[in-house]
Each structure stands twice: as structure tokens, then as C-alpha cells.
């Protein structure tokens, strides 16, 4: 039996032709919406990771992560190998095999 995370990873890999395997980690609300806490995708930019995740993970994921225009909501934080990725640089931020991308939702305190 294939786990839901492995199923999604296989589905993404079948959609992509590149071999840049990147691990993507989800937290709190995104983890709840996807049902997984990590997934592996093949992509060469952060923008392409987001596009593939939108295709595979569906409407609930898209509505949580993105504005109606399709742009990633400004308050989500993306860390690539521990460094913040500026939302304006998603298309130019290159990825290589073994990279780790963490997507953090807004954090509130009190």
C-alpha cells in the first residue's frame, strides 16, 4: 500500500521531466490541507515548485497558499536551505537536487 505522501510524490514526478529533486516541507495549515508534512518534487526554480504543487495538491491547497490572482500570499515564508526566499525572486531562484524548501504559514503570538 502506498502512503498519500508517496502517492503525491509519484504523481508529481510523473508530471516533471527534470531531475532536480527538491524536498518541500509543510507546516500547520498547509500540512492540514495537504495531509502530508513533506513531499519531493522535481523543479529547477521555486516558482516551478509552486506551480507543480498547485497542479497536484488541488484547490484547498491553492486557496490556502495563494491570492485569487494565483500569486502566493505575502505572509507565507519560504526558506530554501535555511535562507529566506523573496517572493519577487521565485522565478529566478534556482534549485538543485537535494535542496530543501520549507513553507511556513503566518505565525501569530499572544
6 secondary structure, DSSP code? H
Read off the DSSP letter of residue 59: H
CATH fold of 4-104, please?
Ubiquitin-like (UB roll) (3.10.20)
pTM summary value: 0.80
Q: What does the alpha-carbon distance between residue 93 and residue 47 come to, in Å, rounded to a whole number? A: 8
Model confidence pLDDT, tens digit, residues 33-78: 888 899 999 999 999 999 999 998 988 899 999 999 999 999 999 9
Say whether pLDDT at 18 is over 60.
no
Give whole-number Cα distances, 39 to 58, 63, 90, 108, 110, in Å: 14, 19, 19, 25, 31
Amino acid at each position: 500500500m502506498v502512503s498519500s505522501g508517496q502517492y503525491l510524490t509519484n504523481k508529481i514526478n510523473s508530471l516533471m521531466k527534470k531531475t532536480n529533486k527538491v524536498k518541500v516541507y509543510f507546516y500547520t495549515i498547509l500540512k492540514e490541507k495537504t495531509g502530508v508534512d513533506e513531499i519531493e518534487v522535481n523543479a529547477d526554480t521555486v516558482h516551478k515548485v509552486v506551480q507543480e504543487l498547485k497542479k497536484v495538491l488541488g484547490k484547498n491547497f491553492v486557496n490556502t497558499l495563494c491570492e485569487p490572482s494565483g500569486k502566493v500570499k505575502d505572509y507565507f515564508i519560504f526558506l530554501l536551505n535555511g535562507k529566506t526566499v523573496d517572493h519577487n525572486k521565485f522565478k529566478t531562484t534556482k534549485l538543485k537536487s537535494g535542496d530543501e524548501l520549507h513553507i511556513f504559514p503566518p505565525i501569530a503570538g499572544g
